[in-house]
Amino acid sequence: MSSAATEQPTGSATTADAPVTRAEYCAVAVADTFAGDGESIASAFGTIPAIGVRLARLTVAPDLLLTDGEAHFVSGSWEIGADPHATEGVVIEGWSPFRTIFDLVWHGKRHVMMIPVQIDGHGNTNISAIGDYARPKVQLLGVRGAPGNSIYHPTSYWIANHSTRSFVRTVDMVSGVGTDSARAAGPAATAHHDLRRVVTNLAVLDFGGPDGTMRLLSLHPGVTLEEFRAATGCAVHVEDEVPATREPSAEELRLIREVIDPRSLRDREIPA
């Protein structure tokens, strides 16, 4: 097995000239998800989302608040997998212990990208348990902050392995609230409910389909509609023309490859 980290460019080629990888399309699609968010807390889990929010802060959303993964907001940028506090130019700009997180979540200026195990056509997601709830076939993490996040502030999702196991007709335990569930729960649930995007290893989706259903926004280059449909176990609205996920700019590629993820951890999450 090779990784991009061990494939050093040779001759006159530079890293900037290397072909765009699937992981890089994904990272740029994640960054675009946070465009226009202003002084919002961008919370992301997983490698590609972490690259995406840092890329967003360096490009389309410079005012984002990012945490060090512990109890601080930090400015500046640092490599994926590295300690931000050991990086020059990264400074603590605030304290955000768990004790205050729900104040900020419920205040609303936060956009989270969570990683569901299951998602359905209205964006209900599950990170709690698979199978019968009283005696699950598979116990997962628990709902964590998903019910509150999804009802209080913008929420997006990242799915590294788009398949009929992740995209399902019905989720087993609604942890993150979908558009139909929010509507059924009434005005208190819909007031701030704002599902934004779902970025996967195959495609980018939103909830602009009829009745708040999932809509296919773009397929990553190299992915066919047939492949997408075969991997998707729930109904998704597909319009006549489905564009390809946009190409990263040269500057975005440079930032990903040289500044944010020089060790190519992205290729471990999404193999090239």
Partner 1 sequence: MADKTLTARDVVSRLDSGMIIGIGGWGSRRKPMALVREILRSDLKDLTVVSYGGPDVGLLCAAGKVKKVVFGFVSLDSIALDPHFRAARQKGAVEVAEYDEGMLQWGLYAAGIRLPFLPTRAGLGSDVLKHNPDLKLVQDPYGTERLVAMPPLRLDAALVHMNRADAQGNGQFLGPDPYFDDLYCLAADQAFMSCERIVPTAELSAAGHSATIKINRQLVAGVVETPNGAHFTSCAPDYERDEAFQREYVKAAGDPQAWARFEKRYLSGTEDDYQAAVAARAEEVA
Q: Closest by alpha carbon to 198, among 227, 237, 250, 170?
A: 237
One-letter amino acid for residue 28 of the chain: V
Query: For partner 1, which residue of 63, 88, 89, 137 counts as binding (CB under 8 A)?
Result: 137
Question: 138: which residues sit within 8 A by CB, 6+ positions away?
Answer: 129, 130, 131
248 binds partner 1 (CB under 8 A): no
Cβ closest to partner 1, residue 153 vs residue 162: 153
Please list every residue from 50 through 89 that binds partner 1, using CB under 8 A. Answer: 70-72
Return the residue of 102, 161, 221, 249 that touches partner 1, per CB under 8 A. Answer: 102
In the list 56, 129, 198, 205, the residue contacting partner 1 (rule: CB under 8 A) is 129
Binder among 118, 166, 181, 245 for partner 1 (CB under 8 A) = 181
Residue from the set 6, 10, 98, 226 that interacts with partner 1 by CB under 8 A: 98
Task: Tell the smallest beta-carbon distance from residue 20 to partner 1 (Å).
Answer: 30
The DSSP bridge pattern shows strands 155-159 and 138-139 to be: unpaired
Alpha helices (runs of H) in the chain, residue ranges in sequence order: 22-33, 47-58, 98-107, 146-152, 179-185, 187-190, 225-230, 250-254, 266-269
Whole-angstrom Cα distance, residue 66 to residue 51?
Answer: 12
Sequence letter at residue 118: Q
Binding residues for partner 1, per CB under 8 A? 70-72, 97-99, 102, 105-106, 128-129, 133-148, 150-152, 173-178, 181-182, 184-189, 191-193
